[in-house]
């Protein structure tokens, strides 16, 4: 039997077969034989997929009859990207199309809506235009509800996914925009969402199917310098969008008034921690934005972050230790509401099974039943 998917995952994750054997309960010599073409039992595939935290389908060869979404991310992802994670994103696109058709829900912006450009100042200006168009021209406040704006106002299909090695991804497929954000610390997810939104708005041609896959670069994803111009621009856009300069100025003034800090004092860790909690970003991302706004010296964000880790274990522990207010909640639905509604409709019509919808959308069958409950008005 051809289990090329299994072989590919073992290769890309550089897995030790003895360890995989220990975790799965399948003897190492059987794994070797299966990879070489021996017929596995369903039990063996089930145990291997469980140990690898992938779907059984991911162990089988990719289906070449599937639409191009299957190959979309493979073409753009780093060669070390996890094949199961890529397949997961592609399946979500494939089945979204199957469930909803390829009719874009909304189309509220065009290439002329935003300013063309590649500089940090251009990104800042475009963040302001975005806030003007989609946030009732609020140029000051936090955007903790950005996930809702992206889904409801822009018609983007937003998925929070469990995908090893992925930070975020965005794509246009058959005219429909998609953003995928890896499940993790919510402020990190918010920044990734804003970053991918930058790609959708400025780097995707809606007339063509296109994808960008951003690898997980650990905590550095939000604060470290990025090399590619597109990445750098999306980073700047995310930073400016989530921490607008006017908002930062007002918040900082209030923080200093409350804590009786003189206006000419250098920015300290507590002030950055408070800004990060107000605007829903990680400490690293908030500090980097302060650096870009020249509130911290160049390199100051990294130094402060390193110092907090060394002294307190993490920035969050430092914030908690001095009794800063808890972080406000940032809500990410696992799948878009309208996709869930379409899935329920298609299950009712017998066009897709409840088990398949559950697997593709990444939600339990009981959640689909809950969505099918009759509503009482």
Partner 1 sequence: MKVIVDASSLINLMKAGALAIVLRLEGFTFNIGPLVEYECGPEAPELTAAIADGSIARLDDNALSANAFANFMGLYDLGDGETECLAFADDNPEFTICTDDGAARAAASGHFGGDRVVGSLFLLRECVRKGILKGEEARGLYELMRKMGGFLPDLADDYFTG
Residue 181, φ and ψ in degrees, nearest 5: -125, 130
State which residue, 49 or 126, has the beta carbon closest to partner 1. 49
The side-by-side arrangement of strands in the sheet containing 176-182 is 157-161, 176-182, 166-173, 210-215
Q: Are 179 and 336 in contact (CB under 8 A)?
A: no
Query: What is the rounded distance in angstroms from the CA atom of residue 190 to the CA atom of residue 184?
Result: 10
Least distance CB 84 / partner 1 (angstroms): 15
DSSP-based three-state secondary structure for 170: strand
Task: Tell which residue, 247, 142, 241, has the closest CA to residue 195.
Answer: 241
Shortest Cβ distance from residue 221 to partner 1 (Å)?
Answer: 32
Return the H-helix or E-strand segment holding 373.
none
3 touches 42 (CB < 8 A): no
Q: Which is nearer to partner 1, 227 or 366 (CB)?
A: 366
Task: Decide whether 2 or 118 has the Cβ nearer to partner 1.
Answer: 2
Q: Which is nearer to partner 1, 333 or 372 (CB)?
A: 372
Please tell me the distance from the alpha carbon of residue 305 to that of residue 289, in angstroms, as a whole number. Answer: 13
Task: Report the nearest approach of partner 1 to the CB of residue 169 (Å).
Answer: 24
Q: Count CA within 13 A, CB hemisphere, residue 94.
A: 22
Query: For residues 146 and 193, is the Cβ–Cβ distance under 8 A?
Result: yes
Burial label for 327, CB within 10 Å (0-12, 13-18, 19+), is: middle
The structure tokens 């990207």 sit at 81
Q: Which one, 52 or 238, has the nearer CB to partner 1?
A: 52
Q: ∠148-152-153 over CA atoms, to 5°?
A: 105
- Our CB check for partner 1 shows the closer of 65 and 227 to be 65
- Residue 85, classed as helix, strand or coil, is helix
For residue 162, give the nearest of 275, 74, 84, 272 by alpha carbon: 84
Q: Give least dist CB 376 to partner 1, A.
A: 10
- Give least dist CB 353 to partner 1, A: 4
Instruction: Name the residues that contact partner 1, by CB under 8 A.
Output: 1, 39-46, 55-57, 60, 63, 347-359, 364-366, 368-374
**Residue 165 · residue 158 · CB < 8 Å:** no
CB of 42 to partner 1, least distance (A): 4
- Distance of closest approach, residue 60 Cβ to partner 1, in angstroms: 6
Q: Which is nearer to partner 1, 299 or 374 (CB)?
A: 374
Give the nearest distance from C-beta 312 to partner 1 in angstroms.
36
Nearer to partner 1, 55 or 309 (CB): 55
Tell me the C-alpha to C-alpha distance, in Å, between residue 59 and each of 46, 258, 347.
Answer: 10, 58, 26
Closest CB 46 distance from partner 1, rounded Å: 6
Query: Which CB, 94 or 291, lies closer to partner 1?
Result: 94
Query: Is 139 within 8 Å of 56 (Cβ atoms)?
Result: no
**Cα distance between residue 76 and residue 81, in whole Å:** 10
């Amino acid at each position: 039997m051809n289990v090329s998917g299994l072989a590919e995952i073992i290769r890309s994750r550089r897995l030790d077969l003895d360890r995989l054997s220990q975790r799965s309960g399948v003897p190492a010599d059987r794994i070797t034989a299966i990879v070489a073409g021996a017929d596995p039992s369903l039990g063996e595939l089930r145990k291997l997929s469980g140990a690898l935290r992938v779907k059984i389908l991911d162990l089988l060869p990719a289906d070449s009859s599937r639409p191009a979404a299957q190959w979309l991310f493979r073409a753009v992802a780093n060669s070390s990207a996890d094949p199961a994670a890529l397949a997961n994103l592609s399946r979500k696109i494939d089945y979204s199309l199957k469930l909803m058709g390829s009719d874009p829900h909304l189309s509220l912006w065009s290439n002329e809506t935003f300013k063309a450009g590649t500089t940090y100042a251009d990104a800042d200006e475009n963040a302001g235009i975005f806030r003007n168009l989609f946030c009732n021209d609020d140029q000051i406040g936090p955007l903790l509800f950005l996930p809702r704006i992206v889904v409801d106002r822009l018609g983007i299909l937003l998925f929070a996914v469990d995908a090893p090695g992925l930070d975020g991804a965005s794509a246009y497929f058959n005219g429909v925009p998609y953003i995928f954000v890896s499940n993790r610390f919510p402020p990190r997810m918010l920044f990734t969402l804003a970053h991918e939104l930058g790609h959708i708005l400025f780097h995707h041609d809606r007339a063509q199917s296109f994808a960008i896959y951003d690898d997980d670069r650990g905590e550095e994803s939000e604060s470290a310098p990025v090399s590619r111009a597109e990445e750098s621009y999306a980073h700047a856009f995310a930073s400016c969008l989530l921490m607008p300069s006017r908002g930062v100025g007002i918040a900082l003034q209030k923080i200093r008034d409350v804590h009786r800090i003189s206006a000419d004092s250098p920015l300290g860790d507590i002030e950055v921690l408070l800004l990060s909690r107000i605007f829903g970003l990680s400490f690293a991302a908030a500090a980097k934005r302060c650096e870009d706004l020249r509130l911290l010296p160049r390199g100051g964000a990294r130094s402060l972050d390193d110092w907090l880790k060394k002294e307190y274990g993490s920035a969050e522990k430092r914030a908690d230790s001095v009794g800063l207010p808890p972080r406000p909640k940032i809500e990410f639905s696992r799948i878009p509401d309208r996709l869930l509604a379409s899935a329920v409709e298609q299950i009712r019509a017998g066009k897709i099974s409840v088990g398949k919808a559950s697997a593709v959308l990444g939600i339990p069958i009981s959640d689909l039943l809950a969505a099918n409950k009759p509503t009482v008005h």
